[in-house]
Chains A and B, each alone.
Chain A
């Protein structure tokens, strides 16, 4: 993300989280944080602990974030960019606050079908990493599954309130059951995916284990450090797969 994108991102983030933007140019923005956002991004747990235990009036910070550093910029503030810790915290806050939704397609008087949408992150780990992101949707009436579901949702007009005179069909497949179906779909995908990376990692593991064994070849009672090294090799090379739902929701679509 370049400076303009960061700036745009921050503005949207603060507006959506009800933090008031008090001053703004294309180079910086000054924001009055809410207590909730202050807690999430400003790293001052002791302050908040103090406020909560004394029941004092909280005084969330007003911060100036500088998105473009210029020499003649005559303002005090915190420079923020893609890699900075603060940006990392704001990304994290976004993820925490954008996890679970319930949305309706914004069409008056329509009959709306219930869907579950879920975004899965699959990670392949050994001493290296690769991640895959799947956005799947499943219809809770007839169970059909759609991929790239997030793109489909983004193309629609959605609202968080039931549109006028709209009717939501009750679901037949339970949402939790549906999520399990999606998980199975992901597992099937993995089973058919190219897993040579895991074999490669096992080969590397084996080679390094042989080297280690060679070092202690003539030692009858292997010392503790041998076991430590062996454990470290296992932790480094053991192939493992993680499936995690990063976000999802219940959607009523036409």
Chain B
């Protein structure tokens, strides 16, 4: 056994004996002894940190999570609580505990740039951990023990190299689902980091496919889910029945903590999800169908992904589709192609009604309350603002590229002044809008977890009343298929990770790959799904 004896005290004592002093104050001597005794860690298990953090009202599941990570998972874990249950609090608590126990002296916290200030504030003000935020070039972060940095900055030279030189005892990564792809620079950067104690925070450990959880777990604990080949052969053959899923779920749960709203013992307000089918007007339908036929008319749309994007845009607004069409037109050569696309553009500009926008207006009127609208497209965002303005509804725009100040300002404007907030996808993370109870998903992303993140802005701790979610989908268009696909992804998530709160209103009973309504020109490989669904 390794025994380290520190000789510091002895040397100084010998020096003072020799010189006959100076000697310390007896009262302070007694007090110091009491402090040491009081702060002694008398047991391997249990948490010391809460008694230092009386300013925080910890919830039971947060304390349990911290204990489980420290006592059962040996300090390496994925914290995957549902949005709004306080993953940051859990991570802070665990870090504090390790600091108090003398096991962590230096820690690095990697976060999205938009959450950096929030992390620094919380660590300092709530946990009394002297963390610094490193967002400028010339911060000598090596000299600090607790550093919060954006992932984008950390993965680049020269920060990357400098970070590798540091000997961090603990690494915390927020929004860790961004590390789902092992080919990315971020993933490889984190892979090369020494992770003695490590926490990965994400509400959505699986977004699209089962391999994401494999890569996430392999980052934390390589080998826990086997190696790449064995995992692949296991899941690629499509033989995985329910039993294998159970087995995988069990393995994943050895390194992952996932609290759900309903098991926290707190009264959660209800979540009402409604998928609202919408009919195109005849004119809209005509344009949509013409776009669908573009594929036969021109080679520019041979790429199914471009086609899918354009159809999705058309389901959102003509404004969103217009830009893409114009760009496509530039690539076209033959007169025929150009004539056809110009015809579409002309028909499109003549459209006077956006069926979805009208439905949205209806929802806003019925709600008689503040409403958030999420769209994936900036053009739709601006169109909606204009449209609602015509109807006498005040709205503010929001997107993730806003600075912290602007975000706070927009949030305040929305709270005090406007009726509607129109946000793009990237506005989904890191804002809390508990004062709002209605969310309209104007268009749907491919990834169900993005919708969960959106809903999580309002359905979170602190929300006082029930929340209402409206998913708009235009019938007999690509949006039908998006809904099917989302349902399937949710299914995979639930099998491997665990149940999640309602995102879509009703589940499709029949899996899509057996469904006759499944449209053949839809390509699964574009979305990385073919493997887990078991067909190639």
- Residues of A close to B59: CB separation below 8 A: none
How many chain B residues touch A (Cβ–Cβ < 8 Å)?
66
CB distance from A230 to the nearest CB of B (A): 10
**A17 proximal to B (CB < 8 A):** yes
CB distance from A81 to the nearest CB of B (A): 7
Query: A interface, by DSSP: helix, strand, loop or mixed?
Result: mixed
- Residues of A close to B39: CB separation below 8 A: 91
Residues of B at under 8 Å CB distance from A?
Answer: 1-6, 9-10, 12-14, 16-17, 21, 23-33, 35-45, 51-55, 70-71, 74-75, 101-103, 128, 130, 169, 191-197, 218, 221-224, 226-227, 229
- Residues of B close to A133: CB separation below 8 A: 36-37, 40
- Residues of A close to B130: CB separation below 8 A: 85
Q: Which of A117-158 contact B (CB under 8 A)?
A: 119, 121, 123-125, 127-133, 135, 150, 154, 158
Listed by A's residue number, 7 A-B pairs whose Cβ atoms lie within 8 Å are A16-B31, A17-B28, A100-B13, A215-B223, A225-B191, A245-B10, A250-B17
- Residues of A close to B227: CB separation below 8 A: 214-218
User: Which of A210, A245, A248 neighbours the largest number of chain B CB atoms within 10 Å of its CB?
Assistant: A245
**A164 proximal to B (CB < 8 A):** no
The chain B residue with its CB closest to the CB of A245 is B9
User: Which of B101, B192, B218 neighbours the largest number of chain A CB atoms within 10 Å of its CB?
Assistant: B101
Is A98 a contact partner of B197 (Cβ separation < 8 A)? no
Is A208 a contact partner of B221 (Cβ separation < 8 A)? yes
- A-B pairs, 5 with minimum CB distance: A215-B223, A83-B52, A98-B32, A98-B28, A129-B101
A67 to B303, CA, bound (A): 68
Which size class do A's interface residues fall under? 35 or more
A215 to B218, CA, bound (A): 9
**A42 proximal to B (CB < 8 A):** no
- Residues of B close to A97: CB separation below 8 A: 24-25, 28, 32
Find A98's partner among B24, B53, B102, B192 (CB 8 Å cutoff). Answer: B24
A195 to B223, CA, bound (A): 29
A102 to B29, CA, bound (A): 11
Is A119 a contact partner of B14 (Cβ separation < 8 A)? no
CB distance from A234 to the nearest CB of B (A): 9
Find A175's partner among B17, B43, B101 (CB 8 Å cutoff). Answer: B17
Is A129 a contact partner of B44 (Cβ separation < 8 A)? yes
Is A236 a contact partner of B35 (Cβ separation < 8 A)? no
Say yes or no: A99-B24 contact (C-beta < 8 A), given A83-B54, A175-B17, A215-B227: yes
- Residues of B close to A175: CB separation below 8 A: 13-14, 17
A150 to B34, CA, bound (A): 10
CB distance from A198 to the nearest CB of B (A): 6
CB distance from B192 to the nearest CB of A (A): 6
Against B, the Cβ 8 Å flags (1 = close, 0 = not) of A43-71 are 00000000000000000000000000000
A236 to B130, CA, bound (A): 23
Say yes or no: A100-B12 contact (C-beta < 8 A), given A241-B4, A242-B4: yes
A98 to B351, CA, bound (A): 83
Is A236 a contact partner of B75 (Cβ separation < 8 A)? yes
The chain B residue with its CB closest to the CB of A180 is B10
Is A160 a contact partner of B54 (Cβ separation < 8 A)? no
Is A241 a contact partner of B1 (Cβ separation < 8 A)? yes
CB distance from B427 to the nearest CB of A (A): 35
The chain A residue with its CB closest to the CB of B96 is A83
Against B, the Cβ 8 Å flags (1 = close, 0 = not) of A99-111 are 1111100000000
Is B101 a contact partner of A243 (Cβ separation < 8 A)? no
**A247 proximal to B (CB < 8 A):** yes
The chain A residue with its CB closest to the CB of B32 is A98
The chain A residue with its CB closest to the CB of B129 is A85
Is A240 a contact partner of B4 (Cβ separation < 8 A)? yes
Find B74's partner among A17, A88, A236 (CB 8 Å cutoff). Answer: A236
Say yes or no: A130-B44 contact (C-beta < 8 A), given A81-B55, A247-B32: yes
Is B31 a contact partner of A98 (Cβ separation < 8 A)? yes
A250 to B17, CA, bound (A): 9
CB distance from A40 to the nearest CB of B (A): 12
